[in-house]
Amino acid sequence: MKTLVIYLMAEPETPELARAAVDGGADVIELGFPYSDPLADGPVIRRAGERALARGMRTKQCLDVLARTRELVGDGPPLIPMTYASLYEAYGWDRLTGDIHAHGGTSMIVADLPAGEQPHLKRVQMVAPTSTDERIELAGAQTDGWLYLVAVTGTTGARDGVSPVLPGLVERARRLAPQTRLYAGFGISTPEHARGAAQLADGIAVGSRAVQVAEEGPERLREYVATLRAALDSST
């Protein structure tokens, strides 16, 4: 069974959206805590972050959204805040990690904290097509649960097809981090992409397109996630 990870930006409506995504077949929810200068993100998630910040979503409000999301989705689905180092630096690295867990978070992703930095902070590590073998090995050893394969050399956002560099990255990660589940993200937006990526990896993550569809409400998001779920289930 392939794992489906859905990314949503933390806003007041997000708990209901996360619930709809889980109803549609999402296994894991990534919850974006907005940051003013998100270097890893393309225009869709950057704009969603700008909007969330304009609506007053700061770290405390994001933690509250995390707690309400946990209430709505129950104990099962992992909830993983994804943000940037500046929020941790301001709040306190260990304090924010502790509060994320206290508010129902399962692990975390820090998009600008590469493997090797702050190794005591257990988190989902990312590897990219440009990563050396040594860095994939390091990320595999330090990661929390699964390894996030950045499927493209670039920022988040939909692409036209499945990345041509994903097969090579999956092959290297299988060899260098053999005990770790591999989920591919960045650039995956359609059921066809999802099926193609899931034939290689153990799961997929969808961000920008999910954030766009979420603007149309929970029901549309549930339907969209269900199409991804069906594509993943047909890939095995």
Partner 1 sequence: MPDFGGYGGRYVPETLIPALDELDRAWSEAREDPQFVAELHHLATTYVGRPSPLTLIERFAPDKQIYLKREDLNHTGAHKINNAVGQALLAQRLGKRRIVAETGAGQHGVATATVCARFGFECIVYMGIEDMRRQKPNVERMGLLGAEVRGVDFGTKTLKEATSEAIRDWITNVETTHYLIGSCVGPAPYPDLVGELQSVIGREAREQFLAAADALPEAVVACVGGGSNAIGLFRGFVDDVGVRLVGVEAAGAASLGTGRVGVLHGARSSILADDDGQVADAHSISAGLDYPGVGPEHAFLRDAGRAEYRTATDADALQAFADLARTEGIIPALEPAHALARARDLDAELILVGLSGRGDKDLAEVLAHL
- Cite the active site residues: 30, 41
Name the DSSP letter for residue 109.
E
**Contacting residue, 19, 46, 209, 229, with partner 1 by CB under 8 A:** 46
The SS3 call for residue 132 is coil
Question: Is 36 an interacting residue with respect to partner 1 (CB under 8 A)?
Answer: yes
Helices (H), 1-146: 14-24, 43-54, 59-73, 85-91, 93-102, 133-142
Nearer to partner 1, 47 or 220 (CB): 47
Question: Is 40 an interacting residue with respect to partner 1 (CB under 8 A)?
Answer: yes
Strand order in the sheet with 126-127: 109-110, 79-83, 28-32, 3-9, 203-206, 181-185, 146-150, 126-127
Nearer to partner 1, 117 or 216 (CB): 117
Q: How far is the CB of 46 from partner 1 (least distance, A)?
A: 8
**Contacting residue, 24, 42, 203, 218, with partner 1 by CB under 8 A:** 42
Question: Is 91 an interacting residue with respect to partner 1 (CB under 8 A)?
Answer: yes
The window from 18-26, 41-49, 203-211, 224-232 that contacts partner 1 (CB under 8 A) reads 41-49
- Whether residue 5 contacts residue 30, with contact meaning beta carbons closer than 8 Å, is answered with yes
- Whether residue 73 contacts residue 22, with contact meaning beta carbons closer than 8 Å, is answered with yes
Question: Is 126 an interacting residue with respect to partner 1 (CB under 8 A)?
Answer: yes
Question: Is 147 an interacting residue with respect to partner 1 (CB under 8 A)?
Answer: no
**Contacting residue, 25, 104, 114, 145, with partner 1 by CB under 8 A:** 114
The SS3 call for residue 128 is coil
Q: How far is the CB of 116 from partner 1 (least distance, A)?
A: 8
- Distance between CA atoms of residues 127 and 184, nearest Å: 10
- Nearest residue to 128 (alpha-carbon basis) of 173, 82, 158: 173
CA 185, 187, 189, 194 dihedral sign is: negative
Site residues (vs partner 1, CB under 8 A): 35-37, 39-40, 42, 46-47, 50, 53, 58-60, 84-91, 111-115, 117, 125-132, 135, 139, 150, 153-155
